[in-house]
């Protein structure tokens, strides 16, 4: 008779335990074996074996000790920051930024270059990644993942840019070219989706498993989290709300708004529209977020301006809410962050008036480089998952 095989349950449990312990150390910092045993509901013996395995792989190290009362001090364990690195890249039509982060997510190197007239995206990424890694003082061989955040539609099947108004030189085949250029795996993701991930982890979403993140700035975008997972749609176009048909977004000539023209919702509340609203109320500015800042600073005199902007935003938010019915709507992007609670409260009031939906509309809180932070988190997630495949 053939030899029977027993399921690898003990090995699987060890992997799950190791994964859980490393996650705790990465998210909450140094801990003792006793603390890890308590938080993972394991015995102290199992926790000790777990730390030995993680130490042998170079993932964990002793960084100090902690007094536990009677008896010797307990060793404090922490994830090894230098175990590996990832690079996040935020691509824009004028500048592209790169940041190199260690295994714990701490940014250790940066770079920024002017790309306004560049027609060679591979050269742009090569330079910003190389400069960021050099600034961190590490070898490229230590980098395991590169994540690019770009505006536009990313094809879920190929992982390539399929359509972007702002980046005409960034084209299909770019991801393949970049993976041939770099040893670390390269991934391209929509910039708003990455900012959405940043808000999901440590921002205004508050742990909600169903929420939307709305980006308002020069352009518009929407990140959608359903059942805790990022939803991209069949072609990657989920969240391209600039093209959402809304009242007031018709062409001046009365013609039909198409994909080849500025989208309807973009016309109503995109960056240019916010500047026009601000000018109408006496708040002239060169950037849309400056309109919000000036209107809020003006107190009661800025209320009419804020209300008009909120009405424009609410037209899109209500359309999203009657379809997806999210628990939370997070307002982000330059306009959303600048508007803060003042804007969020007004949008919530307008939304509940327009339709029978009442989501919690909140201001995003990852105001510093949300796209870059999301790219780093996304890259680290992939690296950490690969450790236990």
Mean pLDDT of 277-299: 97
Per-residue pLDDT at 7 exceeds 50: no
Using H for helix, E for strand and C for coil, what is the string for 190-238? EHHHHHHHHHHHHCCCCCCCCEEEEEECCCEEEEEEECCEEECCCCCCC
What band does 253 get if pLDDT is binned at 50, 70 and 90? low
Model pLDDT for residues 213-233, shown as the tens digit of each residue: 999 999 999 999 999 999 999
Q: What is the pTM of this model?
A: 0.90
Integer-rounded Cα Rg, in Å, for the chain is: 24
Element (H, E) at 121: helix 121-136
- Alpha-carbon distance of 6 to 389, in angstroms, equals 20
Edge-to-edge strands of the sheet including 229-231? 229-231, 220-226, 211-216, 328-332, 360-363
Determine which of 78-82, 219-223, 259-263, 338-342 has the lowest per-residue pLDDT on average.
Answer: 259-263
* Geometric angle at alpha carbon 161, from 156 and 163, rounded to 5°: 105
Instruction: Note the pLDDT of residue 41.
Output: 87
pLDDT digits (tens, 9 = 90+) for 111-130: 999 987 778 889 999 999 99
Q: pLDDT above 90 covers what percent of the chain?
A: 69
């Amino acid at each position: 008779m053939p030899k029977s095989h027993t399921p690898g349950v003990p090995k699987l449990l060890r992997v799950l335990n190791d994964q859980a312990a490393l996650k705790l150390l990465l998210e909450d910092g140094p801990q003792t074996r006793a603390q890890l045993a308590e938080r993972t509901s394991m015995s102290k013996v199992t926790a000790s074996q777990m730390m030995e395995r993680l130490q042998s792989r170079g993932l964990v190290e002793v960084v100090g000790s902690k007094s536990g009362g009677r008896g010797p001090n307990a060793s404090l364990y922490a994830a090894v920051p230098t175990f590996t690195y990832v690079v996040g890249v935020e691509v824009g039509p004028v500048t592209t930024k790169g940041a190199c982060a260690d295994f714990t997510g701490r940014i250790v190197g940066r770079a920024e270059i002017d790309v306004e007239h560049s027609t060679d995206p591979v050269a742009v990424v090569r330079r910003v990644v190389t400069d960021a890694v050099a600034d961190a003082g590490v070898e490229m061989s230590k980098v395991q993942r590169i994540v690019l955040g770009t505006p536009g539609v990313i094809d879920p099947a190929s992982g390539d840019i399929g359509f972007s108004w702002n980046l005409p030189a960034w084209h299909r085949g770019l991801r393949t070219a970049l993976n041939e250029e770099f040893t670390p795996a390269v991934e391209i993701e929509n910039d708003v989706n990455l900012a959405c991930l940043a808000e999901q982890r440590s921002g205004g979403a508050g742990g909600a498993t169903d929420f939307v993140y709305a980006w308002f700035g020069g352009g518009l975008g929407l990140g959608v989290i359903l059942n805790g997972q990022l939803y991209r749609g069949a072609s990657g176009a989920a969240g391209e709300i600039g093209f959402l048909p809304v009242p007031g977004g018709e062409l001046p000539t009365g013609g039909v708004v198409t994909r080849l023209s500025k989208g309807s919702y973009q016309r109503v509340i995109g960056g240019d529209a916010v500047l026009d609203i601000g000018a109408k109320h006496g708040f002239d500015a060169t950037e849309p977020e400056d309109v919000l800042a000036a209107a809020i600073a003006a107190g009661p005199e800025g209320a009419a301006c804020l209300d008009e902007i909120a009405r424009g935003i609410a037209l899109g938010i209500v359309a999203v809410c009657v379809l997806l019915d999210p628990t939370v709507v997070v307002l982000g992007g330059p306009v959303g962050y600048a508007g803060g609670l003042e804007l969020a409260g007004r949008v919530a009031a307008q939304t509940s008036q327009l339709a029978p939906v009442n989501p919690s509309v909140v201001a995003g809180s990852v105001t510093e480089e949300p796209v870059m932070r999301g790219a780093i988190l996304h890259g680290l997630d992939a690296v950490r998952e690969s450790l236990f495949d």
